Structure 1
Amino acid sequence: AALGGTTLAQHPAVLAAKEDFVQAWLAARRNAILAPVSGYVAKRSVQVGAHVSPGMALLSIVPLDQLWVDANFKESELQNIRIGQPVTVEADIYGGKVTYHGNVVGLSAGTGSAFSLLPAQNASGNWIKVVQRLPVRIALDSKELAEHPLRVGLSATVTVDTHRRDGAVLGAAMPSVPVYATQSLGQLVQDADKMADTVIAKNIAK
């Protein structure tokens, strides 16, 4: 009585078998790991022949064409910094031969020490005033990055032109479209559903 009016394709046993088929199909196809972004392999921990468990970090992928700079300015230097101000950056890897151009896109909501594992202040009140540094994010020109590639973790000298001070101090809302996205996993699920529906349709025809 509970299954009255249910079609064969929507039968619980068929749907359970379809789900098992989809999971098996995905497991077979996902033996090849697809990267969500294009970039360069860094910090590889996996080797040929190694056994891999779910959740294990295999390697890092660094998209060198979409890098930014986090400039740790002193808190006494942030009074006139606004979002949108032009910036020049000289990386130590190239010295003074190459100058990158960019603009300020945001300021961190807290200093590095505030989010550290062991903050500077303690419960006893023995807190010594130390000039803190606040990360300021700077977007770079992609064409200049292509001509003179940078690496993650390099040192640089950053100069901000603070003549224009009509910009905002706080960043705008996060964009609705993510910076990095992949269609690889979703496409596999769609293909698996289509294959399962094809198998069910062939069996119903018989």
Structure 2
Amino acid sequence: MTDNPNNNAPDDSNANQHPQHTQADTPTDADAASVQAESQTDVEMKSKRKKLLTIFAIILVVIALIYAIWSFIFGNTVNTDNAYVGAQTAQVTSMVSGQVKQVLVNDTDQVKKGQVLAIIDPRDANIALAQAEAELAKAERQFSQSSANSSSLNSQILVSNDDIKSAEAQVAQAQVNLERAQIELNRRQQLIGSGAISKEELTTSQSAYNTAQANLNVAKAGLAQAQSKRKAAESNLAANEALIKGTNQGTAPDVLVAKAKVDQAKLDLERTTIVAPLDGVVAQRNVQVGQRVAPGSNLLSVVPLSEIYVDANFKESQLKDVRVGQKATLTSDLYGDDVEFHGTVVGFAGGTGAAFALIPAQNATGNWIKVVQRLPVRIKLDPESLDKYPLRVGLSMDATIDLKSK
């Protein structure tokens, strides 16, 4: 059996009919791995995107919860750090003039009400008191004298009455004598023509008549003088009675005036010793030993630490729901946030800080810019906190008012 040379032909024909695949057209393990990696990447991206969206949603929920909690807890409060401690400082002034003899306190000293702060030389006040007491004694003696004068004037009136009666009797006697002399003169004048009497007797009778007439005039003058004396005594008695009527030595006007001067002198002497008007801390001492002071001179100040308050300057937009009586919580820069002070809103200022500024703002201009104004709100501090943590005037505070409190 021989080999057929065409035995390989079918293979060639088959080869021609069915072309062989190339290496590029046949999928490899690398391509499959790449496709699988891309699919895995897409899954991971989707998973990561889902996680990010979930985290973002959680953050939004947390923010909403925080806002809700903040609105519930802090939405009913207003706060400002523009607040300062204040007090009704007592100004200690001199009420009398004189030279300062002693000053017994210095700045920062704690003082109690009634404690001696300074002493003014009391010698001038002692002299003034002695003079006032002497004037009082004089007024009392003058009242006693006026009382005695009433008795004396009554006696003078009685004496004047007797003098008047005596003068009236003398006038009557003079009138009788005049009438007798007139009769004698008339009779002699009738007889002179008959020559029964001499001219000498007529002259004597005429002289007797003239004398009687003069005596009558003298008697009438004496009567008028006695009556004038009585009227003068009665007027003096009336004037004297007007001064002392309804009064005694203790209630007489002149005595009361003298007593008032004595009281004033005693008060001036008392005021030479200057005492503290209240409990507090000495500040702004302006007086020195040897200095001569006048009434009204400012010597020093006393700050009542137990009665201090806080003026919190809130924005006008924060005050809609703020009312007197609401509770407040405060912290001080001095003690930090660990120490809280409690207080109560007691009032609002009559105007904003800008309205009462030394140079008020002028807004009536073309370049006006609106600025939020602040209104001082006064907060009274509880004394318990102040006893434990004392404050000083001018310290900075942080104030929070609870709008739900009453």
TM exceeding 0.5 = yes
Q: Distance in 1 between matches of 2:283 and 2:359?
A: 29
Residue number in structure 2 paired with 1:99: 340
Residue number in structure 1 paired with 2:182: none
Are residue 140 (structure 1) and residue 140 (structure 2) matched? Answer: no
Q: How far did residue 147 of structure 1 move?
A: 0.2
* TM-score (structure 1 length as normaliser): 0.74
Residue number in structure 2 paired with 1:40: 281
What is the identity, as a one-letter code, of the residue corresponding to 1:156?
M
Residue number in structure 2 paired with 1:177: none
Deviation string, structure 1 residues 110-146 (Cα, Å, up to 9, x no partner) = 1111122321126667643211110011111101100
Are residue 156 (structure 1) and residue 369 (structure 2) matched? Answer: no
Residue number in structure 2 paired with 1:29: 270
Q: How far did residue 54 of structure 1 move?
A: 0.8
Q: How far did residue 100 of structure 1 move?
A: 0.6
Among candidates 37, 44, 51, match of residue 292 of structure 2? 51
Secondary structure of 1:106's partner? strand
Q: Distance in 2 between matches of 1:107 and 1:17?
A: 50
Are residue 9 (structure 1) and residue 250 (structure 2) matched? Answer: yes
Residue number in structure 2 paired with 1:88: 329
Secondary structure of 1:25's partner? helix
Q: Percent identity?
A: 56
Flag structure 1 segments of 5+ consecutive residues without an equivalent. Answer: 168-206
Q: How many residues of Structure 1 are paired with residues of Structure 2 in the alignment?
A: 165
1:120–1:127 Cα contact (<8 Å) kept = no
Rg larger for: 2
Secondary structure of 1:89's partner? strand
What is the identity, as a one-letter code, of the residue corresponding to 1:64?
L
Are residue 76 (structure 1) and residue 317 (structure 2) matched? Answer: yes
Over 3 Å counting, the alpha-carbon distance change for 1:49 and 1:97 in structure 2 is farther
Residue number in structure 2 paired with 1:112: 353
Secondary structure of 1:19's partner? helix
What is the identity, as a one-letter code, of the residue corresponding to 2:377?
V
Secondary structure of 2:293's partner? coil
Q: Distance in 2 between matches of 1:12 and 1:149?
A: 54
Secondary structure of 1:144's partner? helix
Q: Distance in 1 between matches of 2:368 and 2:291?
A: 49
Question: Cα RMSD over matched residues?
Answer: 1.8
What is the identity, as a one-letter code, of the residue corresponding to 2:389?
H
Whose helix fraction is larger, Structure 1's or Structure 2's?
2
Q: How far did residue 80 of structure 1 move?
A: 1.9
Q: Distance in 1 between matches of 2:340 and 2:401?
A: 13
* TM-score (structure 2 length as normaliser): 0.39
Over 3 Å counting, the alpha-carbon distance change for 1:10 and 1:79 in structure 2 is same
